[in-house]
């Protein structure tokens, strides 16, 4: 099992790798994600894991999005688009993408339409949505009394939508949500205040809780580097109209938990930059 290659895993899962979808390994401790790495399909799994994980089995392996599409509604392959929407559902449920209550209900109804087809009163009795918990984007303890009834009404309103149309609209709505399109990592500043660094197709963003405090577009980034725990971004500052000053280079420095974490942040940023530049 330790020499298992990703093409073998893909055969078992009946999936294929493409430019957006990749295999990733996640490690959880007390239900909290503490490690995430996308795997190189040309290498064996074990040789890509840190030593501590090589002795820990079974590994949890996921099929996920590595490069978020700037306009995912344009994905044409049915299987890729469906898997992409599942990833977005997971991102919203895990608070990586931020969504309001009303939009979350609309998105859930679109997934119901894509999966079940048109609402039929005879087939879809009260409580039918409970069988599709992965499509529900609001935590159970936050759902209002009329939550299911409203999902049903939204589902009814999408009558006639094909799976492709429902998934396409889901993607169109999702890409307009805050924090769509990013991989996020926990970091700290010199005062030990916590932030998130987010790498994606628009560039690099820094968030403090849910508030965006910096956005560095790829053309304005001069250098990304790491040394030990430090992660640095060198960039051209922009004026009030968003125009960069190419004569000036500024720098921000943050700290990751350990050196391997800083390397993962740096590597992900470099891969995103290389793919989207």
Cα of 275 vs its chain's centroid, Å: 16
Cα–Cα distance measured from residue 95 to residue 74, given in angstroms and rounded to the nearest whole number: 24
Whether the CB-CB separation of 153 and 94 falls below 8 Å is answered with no
Nearest to 251 by CA among 219, 216, 276, 218: 216
Distances in whole angstroms, Cα of residue 254 to Cα of each of 23, 129, 157: 28, 44, 48
Domain boundary among 116, 143, 174: 174
Structure tokens at 232: 């640095």
pLDDT (tens, 9 = 90+) of the chain, 277 residues, equals: 344 444 444 444 444 445 455 555 554 444 455 556 677 777 777 777 767 667 666 666 677 788 899 999 888 888 889 889 999 999 999 899 999 999 999 999 999 999 999 999 888 888 888 888 889 999 999 999 999 999 999 999 999 999 999 999 999 999 999 999 999 999 999 998 999 999 999 999 999 988 999 999 999 999 999 999 999 999 999 888 888 899 999 999 999 988 888 998 999 999 999 988 7
Q: How confident is the model at residue 52, as a pLDDT?
A: 65
DSSP class of residue 180?
Answer: T
Domain residue limits at 141? 72-174
Q: Are residues 95 and 127 in the same domain?
A: yes
DSSP state of 10: H
- Residue 260 and residue 195 share a domain: yes
Task: Report whether 267 contacts 225 (CB < 8 A).
Answer: no
- Does residue 1 form part of some domain? no
Domain contains 272: yes
187 and 267 inside one domain: yes
- Can you give the pLDDT at residue 170? 96
CB 214 within 8 A of CB 187: no
Residue 131's pLDDT is 87
Provide, for the chain, the percentages of residues in helix, strand and coil under a 3-state DSSP scheme, each rounded to the nearest 5: 40, 25, 35
Residue with tokens 């209900």: 105
Q: Which residues contact 62 (CB under 8 A, 6 or more apart)?
A: 23, 24, 25, 26
- Collapse the DSSP code of 220 into the 3-class scheme (helix H, G, I; strand E, B; otherwise coil) and give the result: helix
DSSP string, 16-51: ---SSEEEEEEEEETTEEEEEEEPPTTSBSGGGS-H
271 contact partners, CB below 8 Å, separation of at least 6: 66
The CATH number of whichever domain residue 207 belongs to comes to 2.30.29.30
Shared domain for 13 and 100, answered yes or no, is no
Q: What is the pLDDT of residue 13?
A: 44
- Count of the separate structural domains present in the chain: 3
54 in a structural domain: yes
> Cα–Cα distance between 96 and 105 in angstroms, integer?
17
Q: Do 100 and 167 belong together in one domain?
A: yes
List, in sequence order, the alpha helices (H) in the chain.
6-13, 51-54, 78-93, 101-116, 147-157, 163-174, 259-276
- CATH number of the domain residue 156 falls in: 1.20.80.10
Are β-strands 211-216 and 221-227 bridged in parallel, bridged antiparallel, or unpaired? unpaired
Q: Do 54 and 81 belong together in one domain?
A: no
- Using DSSP's 3-state secondary structure scheme, residue 15 falls into coil
CA angle 85, 40, 50 (to 5 degrees): 105
- Cα separation of 7 and 4, whole Å? 9
């Amino acid at each position: 099992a330790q020499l298992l290659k990703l093409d073998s895993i893909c055969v078992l899962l009946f999936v294929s790798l493409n430019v957006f979808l990749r295999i990733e390994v996640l490690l959880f401790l007390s239900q909290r994600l503490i490690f995430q790495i996308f795997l190189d399909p040309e290498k064996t799994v074990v040789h890509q894991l840190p030593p501590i994980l090589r002795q820990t089995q079974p590994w949890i392996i996921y099929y996920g999005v590595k490069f978020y599409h700037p306009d995912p509604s344009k994905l044409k392959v049915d299987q890729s688009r469906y898997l992409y929407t599942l990833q977005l559902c997971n991102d919203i449920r895990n608070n990586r993408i931020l969504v309001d209550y009303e939009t979350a209900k609309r998105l859930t109804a679109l997934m119901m339409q894509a999966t079940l087809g048109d609402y039929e009163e005879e087939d879809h009795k009260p409580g039918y949505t409970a069988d599709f918990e992965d499509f529900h984007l609001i935590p159970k303890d936050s759902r209002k009394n009329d939550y299911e009834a409203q999902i049903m009404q939204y589902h009814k309103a999408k009558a006639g939508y094909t799976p492709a149309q429902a998934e396409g609209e889901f993607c169109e709505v999702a890409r307009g949500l805050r924090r769509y399109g990013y991989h996020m990592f926990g970091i700290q500043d010199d005062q030990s205040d916590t932030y998130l660094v987010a790498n994606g197709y628009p560039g690099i963003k820094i968030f403090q809780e849910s508030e965006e405090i910096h956005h560095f577009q790829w053309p304005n980034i001069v250098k990304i580097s790491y040394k030990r725990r430090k992660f640095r971004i060198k960039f051209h500052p922009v004026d009030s109209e968003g125009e960069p000053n190419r004569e000036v280079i500024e720098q921000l420095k943050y700290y990751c938990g350990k050196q391997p974490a800083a390397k993962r942040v740096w590597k992900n940023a470099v891969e995103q930059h290389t793919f989207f530049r």
